[in-house]
Amino acid sequence: MLEAIIWGFVQGVTEFLPISSDGHLVLVPAFLGIDPPDLATTAVLHLGTLTAVLAYFWKDLIALFGFRRDPDARRLLTLIIIGSLPAALALLVVDEVERLQESVTATAIFLIITGVVLAVASRLRKGDRTIADGRPTDAVLIGFAQLSAVLPGISRSGMTIATGVARGFDQVEAARFSFLLGIPAVAAAGLLELWTLLADGGVPGSAWVGVVVAAVTGYGAIAFLLKMLARTGLAPYAMYCVVVGAIALVVL
């Protein structure tokens, strides 16, 4: 039960803050000297963070149903669909990713890379584009940035927000699109794994505790990031990723 709470907390906080949830699910158990959660548990925890993002952006999601008469909703839905397409390529590297998730060294290196990308993005000129200004090219590039996060230590939110900033989007708008774009990929991975677990005998009760913890902490993480981005930008997260990655390389 305690481990489920720990994994739920780690998943909820790090899924939305640009510091890599998968990376932390590798490094945290390595630092604590305990077994990491298996891929099935990790996938189920994504249902918690999926719940968090659905709850936070429910108004945006409801508005999408009016895409036939609302041009802004139609544009956003189109961008989400286009940006989600590159995620399908992750199916081609499942085995390689599983092997990388067993390597603390690889995870630490990828976390440092995330930090470097965030540091570069934090130095770029602040843009003022909104999602309403988004174009298919933006969605494709941000979609491939999301794909890179199959590597443990590469932050999905970090890469997508950084790419959005590089495309001239306001940081908060880039984060908003990042979270909305993540819904299809997170839902697909979580629900598919849930179906597999149910077919194999069900999900342990402790795993559902982790899901609840991930949902609550994930909601808080979204609110925190959107509030703080305008004040601090991406620099603090860049520093965190580089420092934690470097410590992991030295200590672990």
Across 231-239, average pLDDT: 96
Q: Which two tokens stand for residue 59?
A: 């108004």
pLDDT digits (tens, 9 = 90+) for 45-85: 888 999 999 999 999 999 999 888 998 999 999 999 999 99
**Residue environment code for 86-121, b if the CB has 16+ CB neighbours within 10 A, otherwise e:** bbeebeeeeeeeeebbeebebbbbbbbbbbebbbeb
What is the mean predicted confidence (pLDDT) over 213-225? Answer: 96
Categorize the per-residue pLDDT at 42 as very low, low, confident or very high, splitting at 50, 70 and 90: confident
Give the least confident one: 65-69, 144-148, 232-236: 65-69
191-217 pLDDT, tens digit each:
777 776 666 666 666 778 888 999 999
Query: Is the model's pLDDT at 40 over the cut of 70?
Result: no
Domain count along the chain: 1
Closest by Cα among 99, 140, 104 to 30:
104
Provide the pLDDT for residue 86.
94
Q: Domain limits at 98?
A: 2-32+40-251
Q: How far apart are CA 147 and CA 86, in angstroms?
A: 6
Contact in structure between 70 and 132 (CB atoms under 8 Å): no
